[in-house]
Chains A and B, each alone.
Chain A
C-alpha cells in the first residue's frame, strides 16, 4: 500500500500543484469582488456571473463560438481532402507529406502570425504584387477582418485536424470501398455510406482538437483582427491585464472551461454510442 502511494503520489502532487490549486484559485476568485486598485477583496458575490448575462458578453461568447466553429469547419474542409490524398499516395510518401505539414509548426506561432501580417497588410507582399501587375487599383483591406482571423486560426490549428484524420483514413480497409463499388454504390454513395461513417471518429477527434484551442486563442484575433473583434480569449486577457478585474476574468474563464467540458462530454457520448446505433440504413 505504502509502495503504491509512493509510486502514484508524484503524479497526484503534480496534478494538485498545477491543476487543482490554480483551478481552485480561479474558481474562488470568480466569486470575489474587485478592489478599487485592481486587487481582490475577500467578499463573496455572484455579481461576476450575473454581469456575464449582459448581452454585450453574450455576444462575445457567441462570436467566439462562431469563430471556433468556423475555424473547425474550414480546417475540416481543407484537412479531410488533404488527409485522404496523403493516405491515398504510395506509403513511402506519407511521412514526407506529413512532415511538410508539420515543419512550419516548429516555428513559434506568434512569429508565423506576424509573417501572415507581412503578407496581408495594405503595403504587404500580396497587395504590392497585385498592384504591380495592375490587377487591382487600390490595396485590398485584408487584415483586421473576420476573414483574416479565420485564416490565421485555420493555418495555426490545421495540423491538429490533419493528424487524427490521416491516421484513421490510412487505416480504412480499402477492400470495403471495393466491396461498396462492387455492390453498386457510386463513388459518392461509397463516400457517404462507407468512408464517412468509418472515418467519423477521426473527424470528431480532429474537430475537438481544433475547436477547443480556438475558443481560447487570443493573440490571433488580436493581431490579425486588429483587436476590433472581441472574443473570449482576449476578453479574459483584457480583464486580467488591462482592466485588472481578476474576479470577472476568473468568472469568464470558469464559463469557458464549462463550455469546453460540455463539448468533450458530447464527444464521449458520441463515441460511446457508435457501437450500437451508428447504422446507416
Chain B
C-alpha cells in the first residue's frame, strides 16, 4: 500500500448538475500520490461524472479540482497531466498498435526513435510484445484493453483514470486483469483512480474505496474498514451481504455500547453519541452469526426458527426467522453438518462487537 502522504488530487465541494439531475453533489476528497482509489457505486451514482471532471471532459457546475496543487479549471484535457483508460478502449482504428500507443508521445513531439523505444517498453509491460504492427480490430477484447492501458501509461501521467476498464471482459479474464492491474500500479507507482460498479473488483484492487450514492460519497476507507465498519445503511447493504435490524435505544451500557430494543429482543450494540429513545438501525454480517455453539464466547443469544439451507459452493447459507417473522441470514463454511430441519428451534449467537449502529 502506498505510504506517501502527498496529496495529488484535491476535490473541493465539487458539483455537477445536468438539466434536471444532480450527478455530483458537493464532493470533497483528497487522493494520495501513488494510491489505488476506487469510486464504487451503482450506475447513475456520479462516479463516472466525477472521473470525467478530473479528466477535463466535463466542466463542474461548482467547486474545483486541484491536480498537483494547481486548480485545473482552465486546463482543457490535453493540457492535464492525467490520462484515461476508456471503458470502450477508444483505440484509433486507423492506426496500428504501435501508432496508438505512441500517439501521446508524438503529440509531445518526442523524437521518433525515443517514441519507438518507449512504446516497446510499454507493450512489454502489458505483455504485448510483437503486436505493434497489428490493427486494433485484429486483437481480442483483453488485448485491446491492454493496449488502452499501455497507451495511457506510456505518457507517465501523474494520475491514471480508469473508467470501468474491465466492464466488457468476461469473468475469468476480468479476474486475471484485476490482479495484473494491481501489480502494474505497484510497479509504476502511478496514482490510479478507478471507477467500477463491481464491489469484488473494488475490494480486490483498491487501497481505498469511495462508495458513492446519489452523487455523494457515503464512505471512504480501505476495503477492511468499509466491510467491517460500514457507517451508513447504504454502505452496509451495498458491500457484501448483511442483516439489517432496527430498534429503539433503551440505555447506554458503557462508552460506545448501547442497549437496543427491537421487536424481537434486546441486545447490546456498538454506537456513538446515541440518545435514549432514538430509533436506530444496525447491522450484523451473516458470517458473524453462529447457529451452533462457537468456540469463542458470545454476548448475544437470540431465539429463532430454522427455515432452510441454501448450498452455494464454498459456503452454506441458512435462513432462519425471528419471532415476528423477520428473516436472518447466517453463513458458514461448507462442510457444516446440515443437522437442522425446517421448523427446528435454534439459537443465534454473536458478539456485541459485531452489531454496529448505522447512520441514517
Residues of A at the B interface (CB closer than 8 Å) are 173, 175-176, 178-186, 189, 193-194, 197-198, 274, 278-281
Asked if A279 contacts B78 (CB within 8 A), the reply is no
Q: How far is the CA of A212 from the CA of B10 in the complex (A)?
A: 59
B86 lies within 8 A of chain A by Cβ: yes
Asked if A183 contacts B95 (CB within 8 A), the reply is no
Asked if A184 contacts B104 (CB within 8 A), the reply is yes
Asked if A279 contacts B96 (CB within 8 A), the reply is yes
Asked if B86 contacts A185 (CB within 8 A), the reply is no
Q: How far is the CA of A182 from the CA of B106 in the complex (A)?
A: 13
Top-4 shortest CB links A-B: A183-B104, A179-B90, A184-B107, A175-B90
Q: What chain B residues lie within 8 Å of A182 (beta carbons)?
A: 55-57, 77-78, 82-84, 152
Q: What chain B residues lie within 8 Å of A179 (beta carbons)?
A: 84, 86, 90-92
Q: How far is the CA of A101 from the CA of B78 in the complex (A)?
A: 35
Contacts A184-B78, A184-B155: A178 and B84 contacting too (C-beta < 8 A)? yes
Q: A181 is contacted by which of B78, B91, B92 (Cβ under 8 Å)?
A: B78
B103 lies within 8 A of chain A by Cβ: yes
B94 lies within 8 A of chain A by Cβ: yes
Asked if B94 contacts A183 (CB within 8 A), the reply is no
Q: A185 is contacted by which of B57, B88, B107 (Cβ under 8 Å)?
A: B107
Q: How far is the CA of A183 from the CA of B83 in the complex (A)?
A: 7
B102 lies within 8 A of chain A by Cβ: yes
Q: B90 is contacted by which of A178, A274, A278 (Cβ under 8 Å)?
A: A178
Asked if A281 contacts B106 (CB within 8 A), the reply is yes
Q: What chain B residues lie within 8 Å of A274 (beta carbons)?
A: 94
Interchain Cβ contacts under 8 Å between A and B, 16 examples: A173-B88, A175-B90, A176-B92, A179-B90, A180-B92, A181-B57, A181-B76, A182-B77, A182-B78, A182-B152, A184-B104, A184-B108, A198-B92, A279-B94, A279-B96, A280-B99
- CB-based nearest B residue for A190: B78
What's the nearest-Cβ distance from chain A to residue B105, in Å? Answer: 9
Contacts A183-B83, A279-B99: A197 and B90 contacting too (C-beta < 8 A)? no
Asked if B57 contacts A189 (CB within 8 A), the reply is no
Scoring B77, B94, B98 by chain A CB atoms within 10 A of each residue's CB, the highest score goes to B94
B93 lies within 8 A of chain A by Cβ: yes
Q: B77 is contacted by which of A175, A178, A193, A278 (Cβ under 8 Å)?
A: A178
- CB-based nearest B residue for A196: B94
What's the nearest-Cβ distance from chain B to residue A281, in Å? Answer: 4
**Proximity string of chain B (61-103) to chain A, C-beta cutoff 8 Å, 1 when within and 0 when not:** 0000000000000001111001110101011111110110011
Q: How far is the CA of A267 from the CA of B124 in the complex (A)?
A: 39
Q: What chain A residues lie within 8 Å of B56 (beta carbons)?
A: 181-182
B144 lies within 8 A of chain A by Cβ: no
Contacts A175-B90, A178-B90, A278-B94: A186 and B78 contacting too (C-beta < 8 A)? yes
What's the nearest-Cβ distance from chain A to residue B327, in Å? Answer: 45
Q: How far is the CA of A175 from the CA of B84 in the complex (A)?
A: 11
Q: How far is the CA of A189 from the CA of B95 in the complex (A)?
A: 15
What's the nearest-Cβ distance from chain B to residue A196, in Å? Answer: 10
Q: How far is the CA of A281 from the CA of B107 in the complex (A)?
A: 11
Contacts A183-B155, A189-B107: A281 and B78 contacting too (C-beta < 8 A)? no
What's the nearest-Cβ distance from chain A to residue B229, in Å? Answer: 36
Q: How far is the CA of A181 from the CA of B57 in the complex (A)?
A: 9
What's the nearest-Cβ distance from chain B to residue A169, in Å? Answer: 15
Contacts A178-B57, A182-B78, A184-B107: A197 and B86 contacting too (C-beta < 8 A)? no
Q: What chain A residues lie within 8 Å of B108 (beta carbons)?
A: 184
Asked if A281 contacts B83 (CB within 8 A), the reply is no
- CB-based nearest B residue for A198: B94
Within 8 A of A (CB), among B86-140: 86, 88, 90-96, 98-99, 102-104, 106-108
Further pairs besides A182-B55, A183-B104, A279-B99: 17, Cβ < 8 Å: A173-B88, A175-B90, A178-B57, A178-B90, A179-B86, A180-B103, A181-B76, A182-B152, A183-B83, A185-B107, A193-B103, A194-B92, A274-B94, A279-B94, A279-B96, A280-B99, A281-B106
Asked if B96 contacts A183 (CB within 8 A), the reply is no
Contacts A279-B96, A280-B95: A175 and B104 contacting too (C-beta < 8 A)? no
Q: How far is the CA of A279 from the CA of B98 in the complex (A)?
A: 11
Q: What chain A residues lie within 8 Å of B86 (beta carbons)?
A: 175, 178-179
Q: How far is the CA of A193 from the CA of B94 in the complex (A)?
A: 10
What's the nearest-Cβ distance from chain A to residue B128, in Å? Answer: 17
Q: What chain B residues lie within 8 Å of A194 (beta carbons)?
A: 92
- CB-based nearest B residue for A175: B90
Scoring A182, A184, A185, A197 by chain B CB atoms within 10 A of each residue's CB, the highest score goes to A182
B208 lies within 8 A of chain A by Cβ: no
Q: What chain A residues lie within 8 Å of B107 (beta carbons)?
A: 183-185, 189
Asked if A173 contacts B90 (CB within 8 A), the reply is yes
B146 lies within 8 A of chain A by Cβ: no
Asked if A198 contacts B93 (CB within 8 A), the reply is yes
Asked if B99 contacts A183 (CB within 8 A), the reply is no
B259 lies within 8 A of chain A by Cβ: no
- CB-based nearest B residue for A276: B135
Asked if A176 contacts B90 (CB within 8 A), the reply is yes
B151 lies within 8 A of chain A by Cβ: yes
Q: What chain A residues lie within 8 Å of B88 (beta carbons)?
A: 173, 175
Q: How far is the CA of A182 from the CA of B155 in the complex (A)?
A: 11
What's the nearest-Cβ distance from chain A to residue B266, in Å? Answer: 56
What's the nearest-Cβ distance from chain A to residue B167, in Å? Answer: 13
**Proximity string of chain B (314-341) to chain A, C-beta cutoff 8 Å, 1 when within and 0 when not:** 0000000000000000000000000000
Asked if A181 contacts B102 (CB within 8 A), the reply is no
Q: How far is the CA of A281 from the CA of B100 in the complex (A)?
A: 9
Q: What chain B residues lie within 8 Å of A280 (beta carbons)?
A: 94-95, 99
- CB-based nearest A residue for B107: A184
Asked if A279 contacts B84 (CB within 8 A), the reply is no
- CB-based nearest B residue for A185: B107
What's the nearest-Cβ distance from chain A to residue B100, in Å? Answer: 9
